[in-house]
Each structure stands twice: as structure tokens, then as C-alpha cells.
A and B are shown apart, each in its own frame.
Chain A
Amino acid sequence: MKKHFIFFTCIQTSSAILFLLFSLAFLKTVSLNEMHTVQNLAGAVLQASPEAEAAFMGALKSPRTAHTAAGTELLARYGYEEDFLAKIPFYRRFLPAVISIFFIYFIFSISSGLHYFYSVQKTREAQDELLAALLERCLSDDYGFLENSQDSAFPGPGDLSDTFRKLAQKMRLKSEILAEEKDHTKALVTDISHQLKTPLAALKTCFSIYLEADSAQEKKEFEKRCRFQLEKLENLIASLIHISRLESAMILLRPEPSSLQNILVETVNAAYEKAAAKQIAIEAEDFPDLVLSLDKKWTQEALFNILDNAVKYSPPGASVQIRAQKLYSFVRVEIEDQGIGIPKAEYNNIFKRFYRGQNETVQNSEGSGVGLYLSRKILEQQGGTVSVRTTQKQGSVFVVQLPLEAEKNS
């Protein structure tokens, strides 16, 4: 494009310069010719009558029109009219030269203009073709061209090529995410089957011992154990259903204006029974209510999982504190317990799927390692975060942050 523009400008400038040179030459020749005419006239008149010198020089120095009337009349008598110069062969010869120069200039301009136009069109066509080819490659999920760092491989000016690159990258990312999700689902299925295997094996063992039991007491004991394993399985399956729905996006979080106070009250209500049985007090500090754009049901589920853990791992008679504070862009909800606490080394793991703490109390209590994973997933999908801190005293604090402004994209 730039090249063609330079070519076009060069042609135009050079023809303009040519035209200028010609005009200068023309003017010089014309003035020389005029001078010759005057010299010729002066010579003839002065040779015939030398005394006319003063009159001639006077006429030459006086204004150009002072004697024209008399001159015109004299010359007209001999047939020299106003256009007599044009009749002189010298001037006649000039006319075709002027016309041809004009034509040459005209043809130069037109042809360089056309050249510019066609080359721009050709470049654009080449760009369009390249763009179409690259788009085709995008369509067939072939993003290899992104690895080619030569920007010249991209059509169009810098901005367009940049945007195109970004678009292609985004598409590549999306297809990679899709592929990753597929792997993820596979891993999920493996994980779930693995999780189901253990309690099922336990149940099977209990049941066969129950069938072969010798005494009524043994029968009763293993019936109890069977029931325990069945309940465990039931809980596990309920959690797994939650997970798989959330992971396979069968659960779409539907944000709606919800009162934070309302959500927290419902969460506490759900945990109340378990807490009351352990004489654990759940205390919440008063805070001005906020309306957030959240999926009420699932946010409650997320908070419940945290609160449920707090109750589960706190000794009887302890208390659980809930605090909420409005920050600039987020609301910070803290759930503090006086439970067994979590070692720092496990901070990164407790939110992972099926992870269970190394602590003996955790290993011995009910749970499938799903709750906190689910909580993090739900909160993050709504633009929030969850993390855990140690307290000065015994126990842990879970910090949940929820955005005040609903995320537009979700």
C-alpha cells in the first residue's frame, strides 16, 4: 500500500516538474523571440532615418499603450491584425508541442492514478484472501498460525491484525477449555466410582457377616453396621449428585436480588438442629442488610457447608461467630469456630475435590470431602472467593467474599 502510494506521488511530482521545465523553456524562447522582433524593427527604422533614434527610445521607455493607436492603424493598412503573431511560423510550431505536453501530463496522471487504484485493490484482495484462509483455519480448529510470530502473516493494519489475533486466541482458548472439560468429566467419573467403591465394599462385608452371623447379638451388631454404611452411601450419593450437576453445568446458578441477612438466617436455621444437639451457640453480629445478586439456594448451600464443618469440628458447648462487613466492592462474611483448626500445609488442599484432612478427628468423622469443594465452586462462579485463616485462639476462620455488584457475564 505504502509502496504504491510512493510510486503514485513520484509519478505525479515528476510530471509536474517536467511541465514546469517546459513552461520555463517556453517563456524564455517567447521572450527571446519578442526581443528579436524589437531588435529587427529598431535596426530597420534607425538605418533608414538615424534621427528617429530619440523617438524610438522614447516610445520604448513610455507606457506600452501610448502609441498603439497609431501603430495599429499603420499595421492594419498592411494587413497585420491583432492576431498577426499567431501567423508567424515560429509560434505556430509551438502549438502542437504545448498540446502534446499537456497530453503526456494527462496520460501520466491517469495511468499513475489507475496503477495506484488497482494495486490498492490487489493488496486488499490479497488481504481478504489471507483473512478468509485464516478464518477457514479457525473454523476447522487449526490455530497453528498463532504460533507464527510474524505479524505479516496477519492481514490488515496493526489494529485489525491485533484484534484478529486476540479473537483467534480466544477461540483457541475456548476449544481448549472444552477439551479440558471433557478430561475433567472423565476424571470426575473415575473419582466418583472410586469414592463409591469403599463404602460399598464395607457394606458388602457387613452384610455377608450379618448373613453368616452365629448369635443374635452379632446379627444385631452387623445389622446396625449395615445401616450405618447405607446411610453413609446415601449421604455420599447426595453430595455426588450435587457435584456432578454443578460440574456438568446442569445446575445453572440463577442470580437474583437476594437479601444477605435472609441467606445467612436460612443457613443458620439449617445448621441449628445439629448445633443445638452439641449445645453449640451460633452467634451473628448485627449488620445492615445488603441486597446482592446471588443464587439464593446455592449460596445458602455453600455457606451451610462451611457452617456445618464449623459445628462438626467444634467441641460441645463452643460457639461459632458469624460476621458480615461491607467493603468497597465486596461484602466480607467471616465464619469463625473454636474447633480443631486446620494446619497451614493443608490450606491449599481443603478446597480440592474429595480431599479430607489428615487430622484424626477428621478421618474419624462423617464426610466425603465434597462440601468445601462445592462451596468454593458455587462462590467462585458468582464472582466471590473463599479462603481460610487461623485465629489467635483455637479454631479457624473462613472468609467468604461476595461481589456487591453482580457480575454481568455470569
Chain B
Amino acid sequence: MMMIDPVILTLFLPLFGAIAAFVLPRAAAWVGLLAVLATGGAVAALVRDVLAAGEVVTQLGGWAPPLGIALRADGLSVAMLAMTAGVGLLVSIGALDSLRDLRERQYFWPLWLLLLTGMNGVYLGTDIFNLYVMIEVIALAAVGLTVLSGTKQAVRAGLEYMYASILGALLFLMGVGFVYLQTGRLDFAGLIAAEPSGAMSAALALMVVGLLLKTALFPLHFWLPAAHANATAPASALLSGLVVKAALYIFLRLTTYMPLPDEILVTLIGMLGAGAVLWGGVQALRAERLKLLVAWSTVVQIGLIFIAFARAGQVGLSESWKAAALLILAHGVAKSAMFLAAGRIKDEIGHDRIADLDKSDIRPTLAQFTFALAAISIIGLPPSLGFIGKWTLMEGAMAAGYWHWVAVTMIGTLMSVAYFSRVFAGFLRFDRMRGELAEHKGWALADAAPLTLAIAAISLGLMAAPILSFIELGYPFGAQ
């Protein structure tokens, strides 16, 4: 029997699934779930292959780069694929239950599978033009998910998101044009081989600014809070947990292959991260709605990931990407759990005003518990994966003597305790509701998905050592 390459399957299963879910709208949910499951199986096969071989390279159509396009899986890319598949599967299960509107049920699945195609394409791509196409696919699918609920706020936020996303992609494309003009090739190996020059620096600058806009690093985060807060719960979970990670991942790869030419730039990126941590923290403290608070916490966490990147300056970059990657994985799992839980709370009590959380006669206890568990990982308490990520960040910064990054991380952690406490206080003030509590509505399938994710976010911390050694497989060599 002929086996199809799992790299190909990882890319094409969700694409065909998206088409099938679109042409079979009545069966969309089951087609979608099946496609996500099958993609998860392909990723599992990739995990096995990468554990055995360190890296897997597939040349599409048998054409070798620079003319052909190669897909490449190594430890980091497969870790991202696995995170996407796992989070995606659980969000899908949650979406089965929580999407009530017929139109939402119908269009969620094709858009989400298209998004999955784009994400997998980014993690497997080795060709910067291909990456441009994939980030556009992600952008279009993500905007579709943002406006899924069809409310005025959601459409308005989605349009802002669209402008930012397309502009980011076009800046990236301009950088790609410069690279081709300079080197005549588009694969990562061409970037490594390129002589440093003014044009290559300009190309890198264009691509990095484009990616920062798409990943919403302060001060280019302006589109994120409204877009993530106004989407329906499963869409918010996908947008915040997964989508912003694609641009972050490209940033990590690019800066490995085209090192930032100056120490000042590394510091500048860390400074922007610090700005995100402080500004996002203040805004989260001021937010009046639960989902908006969670969205601002994403801005903070993105900032933290860039501080991890810059923690030990230019010489430390060969190690710092690991701290950033750990935080990316931790945030992906925990934030999707948190957004799903926030969506459940909003569904059950009918609003998400933080000040009135304690005045409801319904107590969605399981969702509140899930929210708290996810917050443990995002705040960075042991033994969660978020804690390991923050610890790795601070360890590296201390070893390099860069105490300012430790200080910013500490301040950010304290602020996150403060703004999540605003929510916990609402969960715990039982005395505010004098009347009879309404009957508990019982467990729902939509509670199971975020709870599983939140437990995973905490328990993955215990597996940090294997995860760390896994993401190093095949890296950073073999861009051939």
C-alpha cells in the first residue's frame, strides 16, 4: 500500500475538509470534526517521524528549491502543529455545542478549516513567498471568523482587523520583493546564504514590521482587543490562541536565518514588549467586560513573548527563541481555554460585565473554575507551562545580567494577578446575591473542552523538559 507523506496530508486534509464543509453545509460540523481529527492523525505521524529523523523535508512535485517549494518539519514546527491540532480539536468539540445560530454553525467550519490550512502551511513552509500566501489565507479566514456573529461591533472590529492584516501582509510582500531582487531566490537557504547588505536589512525591516502588525505587538496592537473581544467564543479562542502565533513563528524563523543586524534592534523589540506588558496591563485593569479583559491579556502575553526573545540580547538569541517558543505554546493552550470559559460564562449569565458577575442568580461554576485554572498558567504560577516559560525567560535574562527584563516580567506578573483578581472577586462574592440561586443547568459538552485545555495548560508544565528537547530537534540547521 502506498503511504501518502504526512507532510502533504497535514496541509491538504484541512483544505479538502474546508471545501467539503462548504459544499455540504448540513453535514459541516461532522465533516469539520472529521477533518480536524484526520489532520491531528497526520501531525501525530509527523511527531513520530521527527522524533526518529530530526527533520522531514518534502519537495512538492519532486522539484528542488530554489525553483521548487520544499515543506519542512522539525521539532519547533511540529510542536506548533501539534499545539494547533490539539487546541483546534478541543475548540471544535466546544463549537459543536456552543454555536447555536444556524448561520454560525454553517460558516464556522469551512472558515476554521481554511484557517487550519493556512496555519499548517506557515509551520511547514520554507519559502517566504509561500509564507506570504499562507498569511493572507489566515487573514481572510480569521476575518471571516471575527465577523461570524454578524453584530455591528463584530463587523466593525473585523474590518479594522482586515485593514491591519492586509497591510501587514503587503509589508511582508514588499520585503519578499526586496529579497528576490537581491538574491534571486525565496527559500530559507537563500536567506542564510545572502550577504548582509542595506537592501537585505530593508527587506528584513519591512517583513518584521509587517509581522509585528499581524501579531499585534504594542504599539501595533490597536486592532486586536476589539476583534478578539467581539467574536463568538470558539472564534475568539482560535484567534487569540492560534492565529497570532503564526506571525510570531515566522518572526522567530526569519530572525534565525537573517540575524538582526544590531543589538539596539533586539533591545528595541524587548522595549516594545515591555510597552505591551505595561499598557496592556493597565487596559486590562480598566476593562469593563470579561472578554475585553481577556483580549488585553493577549496583548500583554504577546509582549512577554517578545521580551523572552530579547531577554539576553543579540548573543543570547541562539537560546532565547526557546523561551519564546515555550511561552507561545503555553499561551496558545491557556488562552483558548480562557476564551472558551469566558464565552460559557457569558452564555450562561447572559452578559460579561465584570462589575455584575456576582449579581447573577446563575453560577456557571465549572466555567469559572476553568477560567481560574487557565489564569494560573497565564499568570505563570507553578507547575503550569506558563510558569516554565516565564522561568526560562527570567533565567536567561539573569544569566546575561539583563535585570531590567526580569523587573518588567515581575511587574507584568503582578499586574496580571491584579486584573484576574477583579474577575475572581466576582466569582467568589456569594453574599452579593440575596435571592434564591437559580437551578444549576448541568454540565454541557461546551464545558468539557475548555476544562481539558486548562488542565493541559497546567499539566504540560510537568512535561517541560521533553517539550524543550523536542523543539530543538532539527534546529536551526537544515534549511536546505
Q: Do A and B come from one complex?
A: no
Q: Which residues of B pack against A, CB within 8 Å?
A: none
Q: Which residues of A pack against B, CB within 8 Å?
A: none
